Amino acid sequence: MTSPKIKLTNVCKRFGPKVVLDGINLEVAAGESLVIIGGSGSGKSVTLKCILGLLTPDEGTIEIDGEPVIGMKRAERERVNRNIGMLFQGGALFDSLKIWENVAFGLIQGQGKNRVEAKAIAMEKLAAVGLGPEVAELAPAELSGGMQKRVGLARAIATEPEIIFFDEPTTGLDPIMGDVINDLIVKCVRELGATAMSITHDMASARKISDRIAMLYKGKIIWEGQTAEIDNADEAHVDQFIHGRAEGPIQMELRRL
Amino acid sequence: MNPFRPIGKAILGFFESTGRLIVFTLTALSHCVRPPFYLRLHGQQMIDIGYYSLPVVGMTTLFAGMALGLQTYAGFSRFSAEDAIAKVVALGITRELGPVLSGLMVAGRIGAAMAAELGTMRVTEQIDALDTLSTNPHKYLIAPRIIAGLTMLPLLVFVGDIIGIFGGYVVSVYKLGFNPGIYLSETWKVLEFKDVFSGLVKAAAFGFIVTLMGCFHGYNSRGGAQGVGAATTNAVVSASILILVFNYVITELFLKI
């Protein structure tokens, strides 16, 4: 049996007294698309940041391609990251660079490609996400939110990574643009044959882009299974979450006036 | 409640911040001398700090030189020592006013801009994006700014010295009726290499302080727009105070040599 592409074992993370991740165990197979769902503050973003090396877990191990990545030296981590693409929630495009330079950034800085070659690839990737050459010379601030998300996606796939992470890919977009982004994610991930891991609280998006779904609640994975099985999951938290009900075991922490 | 608790908390906070600043400084310095070097970014920062600060520094030192000329005349004429104006202006500008005023002006212009830019990059996840694109933020963002500060401020102060002395000359010759030839020869006679050099050493130190504070506070900013605002304020205030402290320390050191 091949080892999983991403493996988290008993990952814990605390911020002061607050336990955010409480012993997470998760595996993502090569070529699989896993979506982690969960409410705000459930630990989704922290999980992603721990895998990306932006935060260091207090306990547990994280393996990428069978290689433990926690405590890796900076140069080693950069080598691992060269196989990773990331679409940030807000796009995280570099304001000081033009659109094509944003898309080509990983090619120029990470892979050492020259600017002419990198620009040609960037234009291809922009076309792949439905953006024409007219946007290439613009600044990120000149684009709408949906277009910025597409540029972020183009940047994430520009280096043709083996693993792509998506952080709330449809948040802040109208339903139609959200669906366009979902379609693009599915298309890009399939074309690259990449392993994908996403976090979202948008169930429409989760159903569309995932092979498998895991639900995070209070720092623990409380359910995981095939996407088709989620409607029949015999779990009250999952049932409440996917139907978006206020009543149920998940209680929002509201301060009464 | 234990009355010593807030005191202890403040002391621990101070040591924590100091430790973080030391680690940040050493990391930044190590990236200043280790390849790869982003020459394009180094050039951009040098132009931004050196060239675009020239009008501000020029105006500041010009009027400082003019005011110093007038004040010296007003004070020294009480005991018939007006002839010393050229000497006082030359020494005052090169040893003290040129580097200190330039440093403070650059702290306001560049330190604030750096903190705001890096702070915005932090809260919009652009710095995290750099990490995921296998690019070290210290090398890409911090090192070019620090090197530009270290090298450009002495150049700015050298030009500012000339403009400041010219300011004293204009007031002395055209307002107070001094002989231009005598004024210039007095200026030339009194100035020693050490006077100008000590000012340039101060300038390099101030350039380092301004860029370090701008980068440190911006890079570590948290919490959205308010956090970026606080980082900007802290960068300017801490840089200004450190400039005045180090001005005294360097002055002491040069008086002992």
From the number of C-beta atoms within 10 Å of its C-beta (0-12, 13-18, 19+), residue A116 rates as exposed
* pLDDT digits 0-9 by tens, B152-208: 999 999 999 999 999 999 999 999 989 999 999 999 999 999 999 999 999 999 999
Q: Per the domain annotation, does A114 fall within a domain? A: no
Query: Cα separation of A230 and A243, whole Å?
Result: 11
Q: Per the domain annotation, does A97 fall within a domain? A: no
Instruction: Tell me the pairing of strands A195-200 and A33-37.
Output: parallel
What average pLDDT does this structure show over B109-125? Answer: 94
Residue of B nearest to A49 (CA): B128
Q: Chain A contact for B39, CB < 8 A? A: no
pLDDT grade, residue B92 (50/70/90)?
A: very high
Q: Which of A87, A43, A94 is nearest to A182 (CA)?
A: A87
- Between the alpha carbon of residue B107 and those of residues A129, B68, B218, the distances in Å are 43, 22, 14
Per-residue pLDDT at A256: 53
Per-residue pLDDT at B116: 96
User: Please, how many CA atoms are within 13 Å of residue B71, restricted to the half-sphere of its CB?
Assistant: 10
Distance from CA of A113 to the nearest CA of B (A): 14
Q: Which two tokens stand for residue B143?
A: 């090192």
Q: Per the domain annotation, does A78 fall within a domain? A: no
Contact A163, A64 (CB under 8 A): yes
The phi, psi pair for A60, rounded to 5°, reads 95, 175
What average pLDDT does this structure show over B94-98? Answer: 94
Pick from B124, B128, B140: CB nearest A54:
B128
Q: Per the domain annotation, does A51 fall within a domain? A: yes
What angle separates helix B98-106 from helix B54-76, to the nearest 10 degrees?
140
Tell me which chain B residues have a C-beta less than 8 angstroms from the C-beta of A81: 131-134
Distance from CA of B59 to the nearest CA of A (A): 29
Q: Which domain holds residue A245?
A: 1-73+186-257
| Cβ–Cβ below 8 Å for A105 and B140 | no
* pLDDT digits 0-9 by tens, B5-62: 889 999 999 999 899 999 999 999 999 998 888 889 999 999 999 999 999 999 999 9
Pick from B120, B128, B135: CB nearest A109:
B135
Q: Which two tokens stand for residue A86?
A: 């990331």
Per-residue pLDDT at A2: 67
List the A59-64 sheet strands across, edge first. A18-28, A6-15, A59-64, A67-68
pLDDT grade, residue B247 (50/70/90)?
A: very high
Please name the residues between 80 and 139 in chain B that touch chain A, using a CB distance below 8 Å. 120-121, 124-126, 128-129, 131-136
| Cβ–Cβ below 8 Å for B129 and A78 | no
Per-residue pLDDT at A40: 83
**Structurally, how many domains does chain B consist of?**
1
Question: Considering chain A, what is the average pLDDT of its residues?
Answer: 89
Q: How far is CA A223 from the centre of its chain?
A: 19
**Structurally, how many domains does chain A consist of?**
1
Q: Which two tokens stand for residue A163?
A: 């693993």
Query: Cα separation of B72 and B84, whole Å?
Result: 8
Residue A248's CATH number: 3.40.50.300
Per-residue pLDDT at A253: 61
- Between the alpha carbon of residue B246 and those of residues A61, B22, B34, B39, the distances in Å are 46, 17, 27, 30
- Between the alpha carbon of residue B160 and those of residues B107, B134, B150, B186, the distances in Å are 16, 41, 16, 19
Distance from CA of B7 to the nearest CA of A (A): 20
The single-letter DSSP state of residue A2 is: P
User: Please, how many CA atoms are within 13 Å of residue A240, restricted to the half-sphere of its CB?
Assistant: 15
Helices within A133-209 (DSSP H only): 145-158, 175-192, 203-209
Q: Which residues pair with B8 in a beta bridge?
A: none
Distance from CA of A216 to the nearest CA of B (A): 23
* pLDDT digits 0-9 by tens, B230-240: 999 999 999 99
| Cβ–Cβ below 8 Å for B132 and A84 | yes
Chosen for mutation from B132, B141, B228 (greatest number of chain A CBs closer than 10 Å) is B132
| Cβ–Cβ below 8 Å for A106 and B120 | no
Contact B239, B113 (CB under 8 A): no
Q: Which residues of chain A have pLDDT under 70?
A: 1-2, 253-257
| Cβ–Cβ below 8 Å for A109 and B134 | yes
Q: Chain B contact for A41, CB < 8 A? A: no
Query: Cα separation of A14 and A59, whole Å?
Result: 10
Q: Which domain holds residue B241?
A: 4-256
Position A168: which residue type? Answer: E
Q: Per the domain annotation, does A62 fall within a domain? A: yes
Per-residue pLDDT at B47: 95
Contact B110, B214 (CB under 8 A): yes
- Between the alpha carbon of residue A151 and those of residues A189, B124, B241, the distances in Å are 15, 15, 43
